[in-house]
Amino acid sequence: MPYREFHVARRGRAVAVAVASLCVLATLPAASEKSPPFREQTSGEHPSPSPFRLGLHAGMSVPIAQDDASSGFLYGLSARMLLGGRVALSASVEVVRHRDGHVEVAGEEIDLTPPDLRGYSANVDVFLHRSPSLTLYGTAGLGAARLGHVRGDPETNLAGSLGGGALLSLGREPIWLEVSPRLQLVESEGAARKQLGLRVGISYAIE
């Protein structure tokens, strides 16, 4: 092929590619029509756009394999701070009051008084589902528990908790209903005191 015809053909292919590229670009939506990569949070997407919440709760506590305690009640305060994405850090103070336990010795029933328990914990909450009316989360944490005995000095030991929860819309922002079942473990005398607690309370968003 002569040199001149070669360059004409080459330029023709280049022009054809440029025209085709312009046609493809013309069919793409304008930048303003694209959906943003990250949507701003609104109050309808999860319990509150606020990164900080305060809670007040009460409920019941059922001891597991403890002779000196039977089912009782609990109450406490909590705070939650959103760290970003689906993760939050929560802290709580909780008081647990169990009723007396009973054991049978030589055919005679003896009452045993359980220790009073005051717990302090820091938990990591992971949001599993978020919608305008319901949020589900899992939680795990560590802390300390103060056991107040009838006889002897109180002791403070390592404690832990594992569970989950749900935030339910009441239709009145910024207050939401919160329900959270948790397994709680407290180290005591080389063993672990275990109880299953059920918290029911309100969660209030701080703007």
pLDDT tens digits, residue range 12-25?
454 444 444 434 33
* Terminal Cα-to-Cα distance of the chain (whole angstroms): 77
Question: Which residue, among 86, 104, 124, 95, has the nearest Cα to 195 in the 3D structure?
Answer: 95
Confidence tier at 7 by pLDDT (50, 70, 90): very low
* For range 202-207, the mean pLDDT: 87
Look at residues 201, 121, 194 and name the one whose alpha carbon lies nearest to residue 166. Answer: 201
Beta strands in the chain (DSSP E): 52-64, 69-84, 87-105, 108-112, 116-130, 134-148, 155-172, 175-188, 191-206
What pLDDT does 151 receive?
64
- Summarised one tens digit per residue, pLDDT across range 23-79 is 433 344 433 333 222 233 444 445 445 689 999 999 999 999 887 788 999 999 999
Q: What is the CATH number of domain 52-206?
A: 2.40.160.20
Q: What is the pLDDT of residues 89-98, one digit of tens each?
A: 999 999 999 9
Domain residue ranges of the chain, discontinuous segments joined by +: 3-33, 52-206
Torsion over CA: 124, 86, 77, 57 (sign): negative
